[in-house]
């Protein structure tokens, strides 16, 4: 089969990808599906697997810039062109298929993918590998469940098997032995309890002999969904389920410091909707991908496990992003967001004895966090909970309007008011859970806290030290006095008018700058610093009563108090424009009006849009 070509359009570099064959860079063994189903896959299903594998390989091999984001974050978004050989060329060249593919992959990854399809050569997918027993009977699957081995997928299988009589096939992507062994152990437990109603299909899909260049790997859910679709086609299943609790699926940004593509969308409702539409355009007889846990917190998922008697296996269900660092003793890192969600849910349900703190490399509550990233994650997780607990529905929408609008798109058949109400209530429940666990933990460790025996960089101590700063930074209440233009008292789900001037809110805490462009995005670091300093002449112009056209432009050298080089200021201004432009396209599907945030004058000076509205914690100031 002809190799795939991956082009990075930003720098002109090319990668060649061999799928399977004699010297492959990526192994994808669909034969395991065929052997279990006793039926060949359709060509379009094989093509879907190859397309998803190519996207996943490109996603993992082309860096976004590593932990240190080069060019102040501009490299987060990549521009890639993939040339992929396919068996059903006419199908993949159809406009509706191309549009569905591009929309799904671009939203999932946050990148810009272009696809070019060519006719495949002879298929080298391991002929002779199969040893099919044509006298045997294939497994009759009612449900295909994408089985990662985490608590959510484990809870689903338990719930499905305990409450219904159908047969379930568990589909796992086999990549790391550490995860594969846990998946096999849990699948064995389920088969022991429910007998022949359970079949576990492990599909090899991984890079060969290469470490991932980029660790975000947002496209893994596309690969996982493609495998699930192929299995559903082979087994003629009636359902495809991708289980994740709603808080993780929605993935509201816990902090403005989680930027761009660092916030994953693996089971986001809009992702699942677009992947379902893509699969339907290729194989219209397959069921949609659903997430039956989409309105549950992690604690409510753990309740399902306990209800069906599976709590003793909670410790064997692995949740976390740092698989490479897992050991026999420490199965979880204790510092990533998934470990936080897991630990809080288990403690909230009173099942801590089945998930001992020793299984975490860093104790989630009292362990010392050595890195700045780990400390930030700890503080922002609980600060985020405090924020939402103190917000009204209008304040909730004012802060998370962009994310909420995207979530609504994932439910095209439901009324927007109902969707918003359910989203708000889900995250309020999660906030109450987090704060209840923290309150109990503070009480239990009161003596150590009072005696100063806990690390100053433990979650409990850092949470106790947030105080009013956390409130000032995040808990912004949208009272009737400060409802933003475009968000009415009666319809908190209204989007901001795409043609209206920007509404800005400025914050400075601990020497860190932030500018919120309400309904669109947050600007941080140097870009926010420059906007803060453009605010000074903006206020002077307003105070002088100047007309909009009379607001003066300020040269780069004339920006007072900016301790940055001219090149860094120019870069910061460029990033401001690019970030706002991309957010506006996501929210409104149109470009920003000219000079929407920053305007450039004929003498190469700059100014904030004179029509911008400035919002304080108590009042948005409208221009006259």
**The pLDDT of residue 506:** 83
HSE-CB for 299 with a 13 A CA cutoff: 17
360 - beta bridge partners? 332
The pLDDT of residue 214 is above 80:
no
Average pLDDT of the residues in 45-64: 89
Give the tens place of pLDDT for each residue, 456-469: 999 999 888 754 33
At 74, the pLDDT band (50, 70, 90 cuts) reads very low
* Max mean pLDDT range (30-44, 220-234, 377-391, 426-440): 426-440
Mean pLDDT confidence for 251-279: 77
Q: What is the reported pLDDT for 176? A: 55
**What is the C-alpha separation between 554 and 361, in angstroms, rounded?**
52
Among 43-47, 168-172, 176-180, 367-371, the least confident range: 176-180
- Quote the pLDDT of residue 260: 41
Centroid of chain to Cα 118: 32
pLDDT reading at 72 higher than 60? no
DSSP secondary structure letters along 442-467:
HHHTHHHHHHT-S-TTSHHHHHHTTH
Least confident of 387-396, 474-483, 501-510, 615-624: 474-483
pLDDT of residue 47 exceeding 90, the answer is: yes
**Closest Cα partner for 297 from 392, 410, 433, 391?**
433
C-beta of residue 615 within 8 angstroms of C-beta of residue 504: yes
Range name among 103-117, 353-367, 404-418, 467-481 with the lowest pLDDT average: 467-481
**More confident position, 369 or 516:** 369
The verdict on pTM exceeding 0.85 is no
H-helix segments, 28-126: 31-37, 43-61, 89-92, 95-109
End-to-end Cα distance, the chain: 66
Q: Which two tokens stand for residue 246?
A: 């709603």
Higher pLDDT: 510 or 543? It is: 543
**Is the confidence at residue 519, as pLDDT, over 50?**
yes
HSE of 616, CA atoms in CB hemisphere, 13 A: 4
Q: What is the pLDDT of residue 483?
A: 28
What is the structure's pLDDT at 16? 86
- 587, pLDDT greater than 90: no
In order of their start, the domains of the chain are 4-307 (3.40.50.620), 365-482 (no CATH), 503-621 (1.10.10)
CA gap 520, 502 in Å, rounded: 9
More confident residue, 620 or 525: 525
Average pLDDT over residues 479-508: 50
Predicted local distance difference test score (pLDDT) of residue 36: 62
Paired tokens of 31: 């034969």
Instruction: Give the residues across from 112 on adjacent strands.
Output: 79
Checking 399-405 for CB contacts under 8 A at 24+ apart, the result is 399/474, 399/476, 400/252, 400/253, 401/487, 401/495, 401/496, 401/518, 401/519, 401/587, 402/519, 402/520, 402/521, 402/583, 402/586, 402/587, 403/250, 403/251, 403/252, 403/253, 404/493, 405/495, 405/587
């Amino acid at each position: 089969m002809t190799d795939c070509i991956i082009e990075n359009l930003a720098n002109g570099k090319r990668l060649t990808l061999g799928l399977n064959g004699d010297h492959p860079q990526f192994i994808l063994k669909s034969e395991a599906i065929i052997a279990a189903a006793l039926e060949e896959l359709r060509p379009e299903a094989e093509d879907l697997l190859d397309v998803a594998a190519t996207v996943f390989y490109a996603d993992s091999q082309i860096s976004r810039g590593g932990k240190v984001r080069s060019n102040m974050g501009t490299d987060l978004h990549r521009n890639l062109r993939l040339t992929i050989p396919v068996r059903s060329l006419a199908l993949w060249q159809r406009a509706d298929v191309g549009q569905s593919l591009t929309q799904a992959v671009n939203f999932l990854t946050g990148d810009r993918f272009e696809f070019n399809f060519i006719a495949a050569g002879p298929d080298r997918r391991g002929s002779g590998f199969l040893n099919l027993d044509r006298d045997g009977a294939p497994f009759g699957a009612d449900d295909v469940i994408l089985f990662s081995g985490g608590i959510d997928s484990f809870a689903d299988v338990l719930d499905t098997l305990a409450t219904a009589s159908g047969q379930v096939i568990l589909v796992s992507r086999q990549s790391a032995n550490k995860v594969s062994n846990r998946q096999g152990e849990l699948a064995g437990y389920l088969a022991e309890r429910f007998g022949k109603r359970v079949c576990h299909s492990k599909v090899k899909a991984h890079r060969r002999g290469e470490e991932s260049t980029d660790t975000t790997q947002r496209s893994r859910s596309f690969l996982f969904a493609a495998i699930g679709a192929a299995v559903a086609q082979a087994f003629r299943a009636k359902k495809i389920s991708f289980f994740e609790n709603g808080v993780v699926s929605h993935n509201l940004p816990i902090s403005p410091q989680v930027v761009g593509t660092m916030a994953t969308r693996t089971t986001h409702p809009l992702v699942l909707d677009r992947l379902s539409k893509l699969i339907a355009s290729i194989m219209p007889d397959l069921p949609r991908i659903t997430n039956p846990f989409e309105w549950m917190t992690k604690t409510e998922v753990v309740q399902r496990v306990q209800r069906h008697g599976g709590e003793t296996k909670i410790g064997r269900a692995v949740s976390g992003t740092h698989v490479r660092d897992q050991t026999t003793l420490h199965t979880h890192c204790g510092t990533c967001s998934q470990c936080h969600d897991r630990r809080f849910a288990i403690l909230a349900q009173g099942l801590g004895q089945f998930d001992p703190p020793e299984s975490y490399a860093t104790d989630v509550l009292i362990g010392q966090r050595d890195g700045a990233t780990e400390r930030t994650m700890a503080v922002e997780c609980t600060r985020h909970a405090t924020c939402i607990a103190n917000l009204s529905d209008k304040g909730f929408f004012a802060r998370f309007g962009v994310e909420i609008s995207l979530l609504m798109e994932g439910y095209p058949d439901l009324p927007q008011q109902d969707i918003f109400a359910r989203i708000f209530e889900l995250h309020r429940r999660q906030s109450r859970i987090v704060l209840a666990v923290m309150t109990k933990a503070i009480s239990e460790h009161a003596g150590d806290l009072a005696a100063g025996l806990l690390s100053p960089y433990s979650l409990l101590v850092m949470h106790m030290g947030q105080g009013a700063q956390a409130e000032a930074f995040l808990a912004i209440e949208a009272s009737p006095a400060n409802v933003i233009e475009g968000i009415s008292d009666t319809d908190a789900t209204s989007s901001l008018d795409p043609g209206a001037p920007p509404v800005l809110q400025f914050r400075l805490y601990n020497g860190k700058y932030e500018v919120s462009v309400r309904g669109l995005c947050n600007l941080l670091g140097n870009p926010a610093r420059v906007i803060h300093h453009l605010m000074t002449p903006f206020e002077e112009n307003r105070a002088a009563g100047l007309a909009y056209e009379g607001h003066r432009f300020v040269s780069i050298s004339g920006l007072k108090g900016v301790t940055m080089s001219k090149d860094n200021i120019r870069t910061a201004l460029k990033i401001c424009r690019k970030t706002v432009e991309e957010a506006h396209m996501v929210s409104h599907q149109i470009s920003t009006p000219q000079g929407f945030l920053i305007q450039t004058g004929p003498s190469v000076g700059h100014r904030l849009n004179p029509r911008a509205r400035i919002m304080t914690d108590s009042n948005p100031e409208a221009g006259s």
